[in-house]
Structure 1
Amino acid sequence: MAFAGRWETETQEGYDAFCKLLGIPDDIIEKGRDYKLITEITQDGDNFTWTQLYPANAKVTNKFTIGKECDMETIGGKKFKATVNMEGGKLCANFPNYHHTSEISSGKLVETSTAGSVVLKRTSKKI
């Protein structure tokens, strides 16, 4: 249940390089660079609802159960199938172009997205 709650971005490392690698247009990168992304997570045992609130009232909600394949969607609207696993207290999933992990560390939500040698690390505080 450690993931449950409402989280707000505090810091991001590697944001520009990661977004460019995914082909996100420069104007969208600019708009999102300093945006305080809100992540809302509900957890009931192995069942999660994970919602991210973006600028201009855009939001993406993914529901998943640990260890079971599910339908997911990216902010760009790309739909894909993924299985989220729990590995050493970290939620791990393969997205179409990158590997994503989420963990709670020192009371913060730490999300790491890795595409080749490019890494985006987002740290969020509970609000």
Structure 2
Amino acid sequence: MSFLNKTYTFVKQENLDAFLKSVGFPDDKIEKALKFTPEQKVTKDGDTYTLHTQGLEGPKETKFKSGVEFDDVIGFDKTPAKVTIVVDGNTITQTFKTDKGNGSFKREYVGDQLIISVTRQGWEGVAKRYYKAA
């Protein structure tokens, strides 16, 4: 798990606009989201991980144990969700279930890169965001 405690800085994205439209993200905020350049970091203390992310509304820390479901909120509208995050080697898969549908964020750490693939039920595409270790 060489990715622990490293900060990953946003580099580029693919198909994010289509994903945002598919979840009903307001058109006036899509451009802002596409210009947003967040950072991500994962830390670990015992068997508890913390996912440090930067969202449009500010920083967020998500504490979790691998494979244990918990309650969270996701998206621009703070939709209540049941979330499970599984750490498997250099891959972290975050699945979510909401009243609006289900989806996932798959984080793959390859060398000094982080590639996040975003999917959701009812949408045929895959959005990708690319990061590089700082």
Could you say which TM-score interval applies, normalised by the shorter chain? 0.7 to 0.9
Q: Which residue of 2 aligns with 1:71?
A: 71
Match of 1:99 in 2: 104
Given the superposition, is the C-alpha separation of residues 74 and 85 from structure 1 closer, same or farther in structure 2, using an over 3 Å criterion?
Answer: same
Which residue of the partner structure matches residue 85 of structure 2? 84
After superposition, give the CA deviation of every residue in 1:34-92 in whole Å (9 maximum; x if it has no partner).
Answer: 2211113212354211122134x522221111121223332422232222123463211
Contact persistence 1:63–1:72 (CA under 8 A): no
- Secondary structure of 2:60's counterpart equals strand
Once residues 99 and 113 of structure 1 are traced to their aligned partners in structure 2, the CA distance between those partners, rounded to angstroms, is: 6
- What corresponds to 1:37 in structure 2? 38
Count of paired positions: 126
Query: Using the alignment, how far apart are the partners of 1:117 and 1:85 within structure 2?
Result: 23
Normalised to the residue count of structure 1, the TM-score between the two structures is 0.85
Equivalent position of 1:126 in the other structure:
133
Structure 1: 5+ residue stretches without partners: none
The alignment's C-alpha RMSD in Å is: 2.0
Amino acid at match of 1:14: N
Tell me, yes or no, if the aligned pair for 1:101 and 1:112 is still in contact at 8 Å.
yes
Which amino acid letter does the alignment assign opposite residue 29 of structure 1?
I
How far 1:103 moved relative to its partner?
1.4
Amino acid at match of 1:101: K
Aligned to 1:16: 17
> What is the percent sequence identity of the aligned residues?
29
Q: Is the 8 A contact 1:62 1:73 kept in 2?
A: no
Secondary structure in structure 2 of the residue aligned to 1:61:
strand
Give the C-alpha shift of residue 23 in structure 1.
Answer: 0.7
Q: Which contiguous aligned blocks of 4+ residues in structure 1 show a shift greater than 6 angstroms?
A: none
Note closer, same or farther for the CA distance 1:125–1:95 as it changes in structure 2 (3 Å cut). Answer: same
